[in-house]
Structure 1
Amino acid sequence: MEFRPLEINVISAEDLKDVNLFTKMDVFVVVSINGDHRSGQRSPVDKGSGPNPEWNCSLKFTVDEAAVLRNGLSLVFHIKSERKLGDKDIGTVQVPVKELLDEDNGNGKIKRNLSYAVRLPNGKAKGVLNFGYKFGDKFSSQFPVTSEKPAMAYPPPSTSYPPPPFAYPPPPHSAGYPYPQPGSGHPSYGYHHAPVQGYAYPGHGGYFGYPPVQKPQKPMKGGGGMGAGLGLGLAGGLLGGMLMGDMVGDSYEAGVEDGLDFDF
């Protein structure tokens, strides 16, 4: 079997659809062969880039020469916006690898730059993706090769944590008080009441017990409790605002795609 190295340089994108309503998009790209996540490689995230991100990121693949010649392989670019409530799809670019090889004419020493239109999830075109590519020399191998280095699948698998090494034992079973036996001279039949723990004072016919009184906790010096509460409230408000912005943006975008008219 013959294979070719394929180097992809994800350069930038222009005029992408803005899928965030209140904040600027943090955009990245996942590049794969035929959309297979096992071969997917991810670019860095361009923070706050909005609709015009830049990456200049180099990704390396290895393609089957025979599959390329029969036009059986495609290079797929998934452009996404990183968000708190889950990444949002912006658009996709799909390029046949044979088209790149024909354009290259087998000269792997020349690195070519191309621009392709970005397709939205609804099929419409919006924005442009700029990338470069270069093929390497063919080589033979008896085993199938998909990439020059192990590619991390997207999204990465979640990490499971082992159970705790020990557990607290259950509380001991409390023994009840026995019934008095008939003929024992006890004045009455029934349960005995457990003695009340705590302070006692003398009364008629014995002592009456009260539970100990717990002292109220003193407030922290310097208003620490109030400051901590205000800090947590501000942090929660900012995070809640970001999450609510993403939810409102998604609802507004869904309404626009369904043809609804929003009047403000």
Structure 2
Amino acid sequence: MKKQPWTDADIPDLDGRVHLVTGASGGLGLATARALAAHGAHVVLAVRDTAKGARAAAAITAAHPGARLDVEELDLLDPASIRALAARLERLDVLVNNAGVMGPPRTLTPEGHEIQFAANHLGHFALTGLLLDRLAAGRDPRVVTVSSTVHRQGRMRFDDLTGERGYTPMGFYNMSKLANAIFGTELHRRLTAAGSPVRSVLAHPGYTRTGLQTRSTTGVWKLLLGGIGNPLLAQPAERGAWPQLYAATSPEAVAGGFYGPGGLAELRGHPVAVKLSADALDPENGGRLWRVSEEATGVAY
């Protein structure tokens, strides 16, 4: 008998397990948190805006009375906020590194990092490292890193990570998504070498309709992605969350695997195993990014 395509209805019972989802106040993060809570997980909504997070939690509870939810403040651009959240968590089984920024004008953090590289990669690198001991004590522990198909167009500009010598909003977004892919792959290598029980799994949502395409993008990209692409091509967030939910919950998700929609050009569809780029799989890139990230965040694994 042919196996049916995976949907969120296939998520197993998650009672007694704690999942943390970054960027859980809207879009893919909220859809992910809602599906996890619907299957019994205790979900930590890690959000920059706690008032918005509280509204998201109320919406989940209205749909699923009895859902176990915590709203925690997390600003991935603020090292102190990342460390404070990590210090507050007592236990954790699954970390979903979902939050992201797309296509803003060139902006630097107070520490001097380009904002997309900082929010999409460095913040998650630091958070993962600070939570690794709790994850290792968890049940079927996993780190899910959300990348994108555009990681295949990305190029790591190790000699100019701030864009000082040339910045394009989407070029640096693509680089940040490549950094996610390199990180998830290198994390898998290091966890395996250390004999850790934690699995590193990667996912991408295809083309999904969220606020990401309109919230921080400007000019022509805001028109192309938000005004034209979203209505014509994008799938709803509930469907876009399937690959990361599969990575976070399926017994068949493989450590080091990359999961995305199985439809045309990986834009939409049921989650399947998809390919990482050669740059994402390159151990030299992995080692170099790791050194840069430890130096930038002050977090050593």
Same fold flag (TM > 0.5): no
TM-score, reference length from structure 2: 0.19
Computing the radius of gyration from Cα coordinates, the structure with the larger value is: 1
Q: 1 or 2 for the larger relative contact order (CA 8 Å, sep ≥6)?
A: 1
Which structure shows the higher strand fraction? Answer: 1
TM-score, reference length from structure 1: 0.21
